[in-house]
Amino acid sequence: MVYIFGNWKCNPTNLKKAKEIFYTIEKNFKGNKKVNVAVFPPFVFLNSLNSEKVKKGAQDVFWEKQGAFTGEISPLMLKDAGCRYCLVGHSERRYIIGENNEIIEKKLRSCLENKIVPILCFGEREKVSFGKVKIEIKEQLKFLINYKSFKNVILAYEPVFSIGTGLVCDTSHINDVLNFLKNELNIKYKVLYGGSLNSKNCQEILEKCDINGFLVGGASLKTREFLKIIEIAEKYAKSKEK
């Protein structure tokens, strides 16, 4: 299974455009058992976007089911809106909003308890030596190391220096990170890659890296580009069957 997930972030600014993007993707994606497509729109659009082929995810969640928490969105609300997935610990939440590991772990646990698959984001903030990269990643994922019983977690490796900068991460570095997770941290969840991803670089990453798909940012708002990425994933999945 290849996962192609689109994180819309704080875009677009109106429902009309959100529907245009979503239903163009829905119309042109024929459905494929080997490719799982989902989009993560802003909360306000979730109830208006529905499809059996294109799944939905949320960009964030609060860890309590309900209560006096002004401005928060609970996992039960996400389930009611048809969300199957939820991003947790995205770098923009970590470094702009100030979320720490304690908050991120609460959100991850809340997703799992309420049958929502969390997409746990991680990645180094700057280009540094790989020794420092390992220290930073180990700190971000330490609660996964301590609790081996977590099930149905998907990881998304997003080096912050690659997000929205056009600096896609080198495939050898992605593989170094994947090997570090499996061989040194003994973390063996599915892993997606994200960071300046587009239809020109995604095939090389699929072919050279042992990943399970992509968390696409800006390109997921460009329907033709996102559909090209899906098409490449479909061809790759089909080639693996041979």
Task: Kindly list the catalytic residues.
Answer: 90, 158
- Candidates 218, 227, 229, 226; CA nearest to 92 is 218
Burial label for 171, CB within 10 Å (0-12, 13-18, 19+), is middle
- Candidates 69, 104, 65, 100; CA nearest to 87 is 104
* Distances 224 to 24, 79, 144, 178, 229 between C-alpha atoms, Å: 9, 29, 37, 30, 9
CB atoms within 10 A of CB 160: 19
DSSP 32: B
Helices (H), 36-183: 75-80, 91-92, 101-113, 130-140, 142-146, 171-179
Torsion of CA 169, 236, 88, 217, to 10 degrees: 60
Joined together, the tokens standing for residue 13 give: 């600014």
